[in-house]
Homo-oligomer: A and B are copies of this chain.
Amino acid sequence: MHHGDKTRPGETELDAALPQGASLQIIGTIRTPFATRDDCPKRGDPENGPLCQLQIDPRLAPALEGIDALEALDVVYWLHAARRDLLTQSRGGARRGTFSLRSPLRPNPIGLSPVRLLRREGTVLYVRRLDCLDGTPLLDIKPLRCQWSPAGDT
Contacts and interface: CB of A to CB of B under 8 A. Distances in A.
Nearest to A16: B85
Main secondary structure of the interface of A (DSSP, over half): loop
Interface residues of A, number: 84
Interface in A28-69: 37, 46, 56, 60, 62-67, 69
A141 B99 contact: yes
Nearest to A26: B22
Contact of A148 (B46, B60, B78, B147): B46
20 contacts: A1-B81, A8-B90, A10-B91, A10-B93, A12-B88, A14-B85, A17-B85, A18-B107, A22-B24, A22-B78, A23-B24, A63-B98, A70-B154, A99-B141, A102-B143, A110-B139, A144-B150, A144-B153, A145-B154, A147-B153
